[in-house]
């Protein structure tokens, strides 16, 4: 009898507790057809900050001196707006993620976390979007210290206060009225108009004297759509608001062929030979930028002697070959060090720091060298120089979405390119270029545009234009058709 009473009391206590719990949870909507998304009142980053330091990825001397002018500038984040230096954006949205500090900084920016004085194992990355475009990426080292990455420079920002009043925010806007630019109106940074100029090479001939054909493709973007595209069967290079044509002229010289690389001005019809060799050689263009041209040459009469050659396009009639010392500090030392690492410390072979070339790998340009051997039992060795390319060589060479993620979605991709405003992904496959929209850093898998290209085409030139330059390039390409 006593046992039954005790059991009934236990049941009563349990029922009472359950009723109390359910009463305390009365805010839960039990209508399963109406699931409400919880709201977050606090953004991943907020308050008033100030730019306190500039950290350069490499020692670029005075190249980035203008960034020092940013020190002391205000940086402000509210629930729906942001001020960074002289840029102001309204109606922003935030997206945050936690990453491994060392891996993310190395893979995304090619920098060691120690250079940013980051000791923690993990970081929070806060992406700030203006409409569908990435306004800025914030590297949150701690609650009080963050970094903003912009054109090879990390701007260190330090928190002044957690919040900012409407009056203070408006005062900052008023104080900087003549300096501030709304992000959507700045052509050079966040333009709705982007243009992509792609140079490719291909061959239909697999003989030892095969000749390469070249093609330039231009795609013009406006807002989130393709506005126009053109292509020509030659290399067209924009340089200082003018266009140049680059061609390879092949002539037979006795028993051997010789290729001359020729640069022709489109505005005054002047032409220059890049090379001035006495010995005939076959030449394959590897890389073209506003300031440089690189080719791979084969000298047939010397048992197929091969080498890379790099020349400046700033002085068109200068036949002096560029050495690694001409583009990076201690180039000769860096060349030999990287070569010896590739040879596991063995010094055998001939090290010539002018024997440098560009190859395209995983969506980026890479600088390589060649070690030559006099002994025929050894093949020439191509090795990675592991050097960060100066900006005057490659102005824009970034993938905001890693190549591994792109290949996971599209396994047949050979190369990939992402627009500066992070709205478009262009993929190169075996016989086509495909264009996709990027929305909030996510790739929309639906192809919005496709261009057929010759089988096994390879990239030799990647140039991006913004704003009025996109219109200029589009006009030039249209007249060349």
Most confident of 21-30, 87-96, 173-182: 87-96
Closest C-alpha among 236, 225, 159 to residue 193: 225
Tell me: do 159 and 221 sit in the same domain. no
Average of per-residue pLDDT across 43-53: 91
- The Cα-based distances of 373 to 279, 304, 323, 355 in angstroms read 20, 13, 20, 13
Pinpoint the alpha helices (H) of 25-66: none
Closest C-alpha among 323, 298, 299 to residue 311: 323
175 occurs within a structural domain: yes
Give the separation between CA 423 and CA 439, rounded to whole angstroms.
Answer: 7
Tell me: do 169 and 257 sit in the same domain. no
Pinpoint the alpha helices (H) of 184-236: 187-190
Tokens of 39: 């709201």
Give the separation between CA 31 and CA 104, rounded to whole angstroms.
Answer: 42
Tell me: do 284 and 365 sit in the same domain. yes
Average pLDDT, the chain: 80
**Per-residue pLDDT tens over the stretch 152-203:** 688 999 999 998 888 888 888 777 655 554 443 343 444 578 899 999 999 8
Q: Give the pLDDT confidence score for residue 257 in this predicted structure.
A: 87
4 occurs within a structural domain: no
Average of per-residue pLDDT across 403-421: 94
Tell me: do 56 and 184 sit in the same domain. yes
Tell me: do 147 and 221 sit in the same domain. no
Tell me: do 300 and 225 sit in the same domain. no
233 against 81, higher pLDDT: 233
Tell me: do 373 and 405 sit in the same domain. no
DSSP structural state of residue 321: P
Tell me: do 135 and 80 sit in the same domain. yes
1 occurs within a structural domain: no
The pTM score is: 0.63
Give the separation between CA 384 and CA 301, rounded to whole angstroms.
Answer: 28
Beta-carbon neighbour count of residue 277 at 10 Å?
15
Tokens of 342: 């590739």
Average of per-residue pLDDT across 406-415: 96
- The Cα-based distances of 353 to 59, 309, 336, 392, 435 in angstroms read 20, 10, 8, 19, 38
pLDDT band at residue 316 under the 50/70/90 scheme: low
Average of per-residue pLDDT across 226-240: 90
Pinpoint the alpha helices (H) of 322-386: 331-342
Of 72-81, 166-175, 353-362, 437-446, give the lowest mean pLDDT range: 166-175
Q: Give the pLDDT confidence score for residue 224 in this predicted structure.
A: 85
36 occurs within a structural domain: no
Q: Give the pLDDT confidence score for residue 184 in this predicted structure.
A: 39
Q: Give the pLDDT confidence score for residue 148 in this predicted structure.
A: 92
Give the separation between CA 331 and CA 333, rounded to whole angstroms.
Answer: 5
Q: Give the pLDDT confidence score for residue 424 in this predicted structure.
A: 95
206 occurs within a structural domain: no
Tell me: do 93 and 61 sit in the same domain. yes
H or E, element range at 12 = helix 2-24
332 occurs within a structural domain: yes
Tell me: do 322 and 449 sit in the same domain. no
Number of structural domains the chain divides into: 3
- The Cα-based distances of 470 to 131, 277, 416 in angstroms read 21, 37, 20
DSSP structural state of residue 57: S
Picking from 393, 426, 447, the residue at the C-terminal end of a domain is 393
25 occurs within a structural domain: no
- Span between the terminal Cα atoms of the chain, in Å: 102
**Which structural domain range is residue 456 located in?**
191-198+217-230+395-481
Tell me: do 131 and 66 sit in the same domain. yes
**Per-residue pLDDT tens over the stretch 414-446:** 999 999 888 999 999 999 999 999 998 899 999
32 occurs within a structural domain: no
pLDDT band at residue 456 under the 50/70/90 scheme: confident
Q: What is the DSSP string of 147-171?
A: EEEETTEEEEEEEEES---HHHHHH
């Amino acid at each position: 009898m006593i046992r039954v009473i005790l059991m009934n009391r236990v049941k009563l206590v349990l029922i009472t507790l359950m009723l109390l719990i359910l009463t305390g949870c009365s805010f839960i909507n039990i209508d399963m057809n109406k699931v409400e998304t919880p709201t977050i009142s606090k953004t991943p980053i907020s308050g008033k900050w100030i730019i306190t330091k500039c950290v350069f990825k490499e020692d670029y001397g005075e190249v980035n001196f203008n960034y020092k002018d940013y020190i002391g500038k205000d940086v402000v984040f509210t629930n729906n707006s942001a001020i960074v230096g002289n840029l102001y954006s309204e109606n922003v949205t935030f997206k945050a993620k936690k990453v491994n500090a060392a891996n993310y900084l190395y893979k995304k920016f090619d920098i060691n976390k120690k250079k940013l004085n980051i000791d923690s194992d993990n970081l929070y990355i806060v992406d700030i979007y203006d409409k569908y475009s990435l306004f800025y990426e914030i590297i949150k080292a701690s609650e009080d210290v963050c970094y903003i990455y912009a054109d090879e420079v990390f701007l260190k920002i330090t928190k002044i206060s957690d919040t900012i009043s409407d009056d203070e925010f408006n005062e900052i806007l008023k104080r900087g009225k003549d300096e501030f630019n709304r992000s959507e109106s700045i052509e050079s940074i966040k333009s709705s108009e982007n243009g992509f100029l792609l140079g490719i090479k291909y061959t239909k001939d697999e003989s030892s004297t095969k000749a390469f054909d070249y093609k330039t493709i231009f795609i013009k973007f406006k807002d989130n759509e393709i506005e126009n595209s053109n292509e020509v069967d030659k290399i067209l290079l924009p340089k200082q608001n003018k266009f140049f044509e680059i061609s390879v002229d092949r002539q037979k010289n006795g028993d051997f062929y010789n290729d001359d690389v020729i640069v022709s001005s489109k505005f005054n019809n002047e032409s220059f030979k890049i090379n001035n060799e006495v010995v005939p050689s076959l030449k394959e263009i590897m890389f073209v930028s506003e300031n440089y041209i690189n080719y791979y040459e084969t000298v047939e009469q010397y048992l197929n002697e091969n080498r890379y050659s790099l020349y400046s396009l700033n002085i068109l009639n200068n036949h002096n070959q560029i050495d690694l010392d001409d583009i990076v500090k201690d180039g000769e030392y860096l060349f030999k060090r990287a070569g010896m690492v590739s040879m596991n410390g063995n010094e055998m072979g001939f090290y010539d720091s002018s024997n440098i070339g560009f190859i395209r790998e995983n969506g980026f340009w890479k600088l390589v060298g060649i070690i030559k051997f006099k002994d025929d039992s050894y093949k020439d060795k191509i090795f990675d120089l592991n050097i960060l390319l100066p900006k005057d060589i490659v102005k824009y060479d970034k993938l905001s979405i890693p190549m591994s993620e792109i290949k996971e979605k599209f396994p047949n991709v050979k190369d990939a390119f992402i627009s500066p405003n992070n709205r478009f992904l262009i993929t190169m496959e075996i016989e086509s270029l495909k264009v996709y929209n990027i929305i909030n850093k996510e790739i929309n898998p639906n192809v919005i545009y496709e261009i057929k290209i010759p089988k096994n085409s390879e990239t030799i030139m990647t140039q991006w234009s913004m704003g009025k330059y996109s219109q200029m390039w589009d006009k030039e390409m249209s007249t060349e058709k």
